[in-house]
Amino acid sequence: MIAAIDAADAHDAVARRELEGVPDQVGQRLDDAIKTVTDLPFGGTDCALPMLYALAKEREVDTFVVFTDSETWAGDPHPAQALSDYRRASGIDARLVVVGMVSNGFSIADPADSGMLDVVGFDTATPQLIAQFASGVL
């Protein structure tokens, strides 16, 4: 909720072994929103799913933002490859931000790709950082 994008075309989803929509949390109290997400059955996380879904559904996405407990890749292709495939097929120079809530040495971003960003941890500056990266300021 804190990092939710204020845009009519933003979509919230949970990426486990498949991408699932999350019930709309607009106007929900924080404790109710946490309960909604906490009650979901979690398993392996596949951070490539947002790009694969957008590609399969022909969705126009300029920035993918993934929040994870730092489990980042439980599938094929790797998220960096999925982003590359999405860009090539859609013609959109999409960006990817992966926010790992804890540090376990994860890395999704290709260091040679300026359109990918790994973030470890989350504080009050994180939403602005994501917004600036998404808009191309950073």
Q: What is the pLDDT of residues 24-74, one digit of tens each?
A: 555 667 777 677 667 666 666 788 888 998 999 999 999 998 888 766 666
**23 has pLDDT over 70:** no
pLDDT for res 1: 43
Pairing of strands 19-21, 13-15: antiparallel
Angle at 67 between CA 66 and CA 69, to 5 degrees: 135
With H, G, I as helix, E, B as strand and everything else as coil, classify residue 79. helix
Asked if residues 77 and 109 have their Cβ atoms less than 8 Å apart, the reply is no
Strands (E) across the chain are located at 13-15, 19-21, 63-68, 95-100, 116-120
pLDDT for res 104: 76
Region 117-132 average pLDDT: 90
Burial of 118 (0-12, 13-18, 19+ CB in 10 A): middle
**102 has pLDDT over 70:** yes
